[in-house]
Amino acid sequence: MPKRSLLWFRKDLRLHDNPVLHRALQESDAILPVFIIDPRWFRKLPLGFRKTGANRTAFLLQCLQDLRERLQSREGALLIGYGHPEKLLPELVREYQIEAIYTQRDIAWEERRSAAAVQRAVAPLGCLFNREWSHLLYHPDDLDFSPQQTPATFKTFRKHLRRSRVRELLPEVARFPLLPPKEEAPLPGLPDLGLYAEPQPAYPGGETAALQRLQHYFFDTEALTRYKWTRNQSLGDDYSSKFSPYLAHGCLSPRLVYRENKRYEATVRKNISTYWLLFELKWREFFQYLGMRHGNRMFFPEGIKGRERAWKEDKELFERWRKAQTGIPFLDAHMRQMNQTGFMSNRGRVNHASFLAQEYGINWTWGAAWFEARLIDYDVCSNWLNWNTQATEQRFTNPIWQSKKYDQKGEYVRKWLPELRDVPVPQLYAPFTMSEEEQAEHGVKIGEDYPAPATLSGKLEWAVKRL
Ligand SMILES: Cc1cc2nc3c(=O)[nH]c(=O)nc-3n(C[C@H](O)[C@H](O)[C@H](O)COP(=O)(O)OP(=O)(O)OC[C@H]3O[C@@H](n4cnc5c(N)ncnc54)[C@H](O)[C@@H]3O)c2cc1C
């Protein structure tokens, strides 16, 4: 009897360079591609918001639509279910007489628990459960340390990477024997998932969009050549690659980014920028491996280094922060952008994590949960371990000083905070310093049109004096 397999897509929503798909096709006579939307992703947290918000969900649905169309063009389809995978997948195994499930290997606890529950549920049906790494740049088997011994510093981690290699891309799949699903339900709408906000994700989801973005950033605009000098900005689309939402959903293989970067170096230009993009991609890799080493500790308030601190649990202050009401324009502009579009620049994220933990002294895990809910590029390890770093390891990043450095003319702030559009720099960096006459002259009343800061520590005052 021919071997029928089920391909359980998760955060690997692509057909190119996908080790799970590749192995499933090699070992099966026919495969049934499936994605399960789990209602637990949308549960309400005690902090008062849902674990996954409207923008990331809209982005995910676009990824699924695109994957479905790509499979349809190969005379297949994508079966999309809604429910608990450990309940739905055994039903499909029975219905389609599936002998093996193929899926991605995960790092974080919730994803691993979900996979383990499926494995347990299908084992009595005689169904095999196979997993492959599909979101890493370096395969763990190719490194000279085990994930549990991942070096504590990025510098040492990079030294080890030098002794390894990035595997070649998997060849294009020619043979695509897909099992047609008996029925192909339409994609759910956001209200079906309990989400009522109007989504406006900053970028379109899906593998097609991911490949277009790669072509745009590298070869069409050659923006890559300028990356090192533009990457700390926040305004516009091309100051950085915007690959993160695609990498997070697995629409883009990190190995493809690596290979295309090398091709760019060989055919267009090799400079510090081409080096730096891979340097950043290695940061992503570092956090994946640190996640494997530290497991659940990445979610603990004391962080992976066990630095105990009496964090405040001040809900009122937290609400101000997440609703873009800190009174510091550089922060509020970034938060407004993320709340509306699901994207925030790296500069904004660094400033926000540092501010919430070190100026407000608020339990940083609350902030990480807010980013998790809002970001379209949310990735467990990148998010929680970057928060760990900014909250418990790095020195304070001063947002007033940073606005002077990274938004010199105030263009970014004016885009997202139009109520401050007539305030000139340097007052725009700290509008609460304006006298009543100045406020009247520039058309804004602090405390009414735009908030005054809730706190003003010595560190912020230091920056104000030097504006
Ligand atoms: C508090 C905080 C939370 C973050 N949360 C996430 C998250 O949930 N998901 C996520 O992908 N990134 C996260 N980052 C990292 C970084 O901000 C984003 O990867 C980057 O802004 C995405 O934009 P880009 O693709 O244009 O990046 P580029 O500057 O073009 O970089 C290219 C790629 O390198 C990787 N990268 C760059 N910087 C980092 C970094 N510091 N850590 C890990 N990978 C990096 C990303 O995959 C990125 O797509 C976070 C950073 C901070 C400080």
**How far apart, in whole angstroms, are the C-alpha atoms of residue 443 and residue 365?**
37
Write out pLDDT tens, residues 268-308: 999 999 999 999 999 999 999 999 999 999 999 999 999 99
Q: Supply the residue whose CA is at minimum distance from atom 3 of ligand 1.
A: 383
DSSP line for 35-78: EEE-GGGGPBPTTSSBSS-HHHHHHHHHHHHHHHHHHHTTT---
Secondary-structure class of domain 1-134 per CATH:
alpha beta
Please tell me what DSSP assigns to residue 220: I
What mean pLDDT comes out for the span 240-253?
Answer: 98
Structure tokens at 404: 């002077």
In 105-264, at which residue ranges do the beta strands (DSSP E only) sit? 128-132
The β-bridge partners of 34 are 8, 79
Q: Between the CA atoms of 352, 234, 205 and 370, what dihedral angle is there, to the nearest 10 degrees?
A: 10
How is the beta sheet containing 30-37 ordered, strand by strand?
79-82, 30-37, 4-9, 100-104, 128-132
Give distance in angstroms: CA of 358 to centre of ligand 1.
21
Protein residue closest via CA to atom 36 of ligand 1: 280
Query: Domain 315-465, what architecture?
Result: Orthogonal Bundle (1.10)
Output the pLDDT for position 2: 55
- The pLDDT tens digits for 106-151 are 999 999 999 999 999 999 999 999 999 999 999 999 999 999 999 9
> Residue 18: how many CA atoms within 13 Å on its side-chain side?
25
Question: Does the beta carbon of 353 lie inside 6 Å of ligand 1?
Answer: yes
Contact 105, 8 (CB under 8 A): no
* Residue to probe by mutation, ligand 1, list 216, 284, 397, most atoms within 8 Å of CB: 284
Residues 6+ apart with CB under 8 A from 75: 176, 178, 180
Q: Is the CB of 217 under 6 A from ligand 1?
A: no
Start-end of CATH 3.40.50.620 domains in the chain: 1-134
Higher pLDDT, 108 or 74: 108
Query: To the nearest whole number, what is the mean pLDDT of the chain?
Result: 96
- pTM for the whole structure: 0.98
Average pLDDT over residues 22-26: 94
Q: Where in the chain is the domain with CATH 1.10.579.10?
A: 315-465
How close are the terminal C-alpha atoms of the chain, in Å?
Answer: 76
The DSSP bridge partners found for residue 80 are: 35
**Nearest CA owner, ligand 1 atom 23:** 242
- Is 378 near ligand 1, meaning CB less than 6 Å away? yes
CB of 387 sitting under 6 A from ligand 1: yes
Name the burial class of residue 148, with classes exposed (0-12), middle (13-18) and buried (19+) by CB atoms within 10 angstroms of its CB.
exposed
User: Quick one: which of 463, 200, 441, 233 has its CA closest to 333?
Assistant: 233
Segment 372-384 mean pLDDT: 98
Whether 352 and 331 have beta carbons less than 8 Å apart is answered as yes
232 in contact with ligand 1, CB cutoff 6 A: no
Give one DSSP letter per residue of 331-393, joined into a string: HHHHHHHHHHHS---HHHHHHHHHIIIIIS-B-HHHHHHHHHHH-TT--HHHHHHHHHIIIII
CA–centroid distance, residue 107 to ligand 1 (Å): 18
Q: pLDDT by residue (tens digit) across 157-187?
A: 999 999 999 999 999 877 778 888 887 889 9
**What is the pLDDT, as a whole number, of residue 204?**
98
Spatial contact of 4 and 98, defined as CB atoms under 8 Å apart = yes
Q: How far is the CA of 382 from the centre of ligand 1 (A)?
A: 7
CATH (one of 1.10.10.10, 2.60.120.330, 1.25.40.80, 3.30.60.50) for 135-168+207-299: 1.25.40.80
Give the tens place of pLDDT for each residue, 188-245.
Answer: 999 999 999 889 999 999 999 999 999 999 999 999 999 999 999 999 999 999 999 9
- Residue type for position 6: L
Burial of 343 (0-12, 13-18, 19+ CB in 10 A): buried
Beta-carbon-side half-sphere exposure of residue 219 (alpha carbons within 13 Å): 12
Beta bridge partners of 8: 34, 103
For residue 81, what are the β-bridge partners? 36
As a whole-number percent, the residues of the chain with pLDDT over 70 amount to 100
| Smallest CA separation from ligand 1 atom 17, residue | 346
Residue 456 reports pLDDT greater than 70: yes
CA distance 416 to 218: 28
Residue 409 has pLDDT above 70, yes or no: yes
pLDDT in tens, 38-67: 999 999 999 999 999 999 999 999 999 999
| CA 83 to ligand 1 center in whole angstroms | 30
Q: Does the N-terminal peptide bond of residue 140 adopt cis geometry, omega within 30 degrees of 0?
A: no
Report whether pLDDT(1) > 50: no
273 lines ligand 1 (CB under 6 A): no
Sequence-distant (≥ 6) Cβ neighbours of residue 252 within 8 angstroms: 14, 207, 210, 211, 213, 214, 243, 246
Percentage with pLDDT > 90 across the chain = 94
Rounded alpha-carbon distances, angstroms, from residue 22 to 18, 107, 262 = 6, 21, 24
Residues of the chain with CATH 1.25.40.80: 135-168+207-299
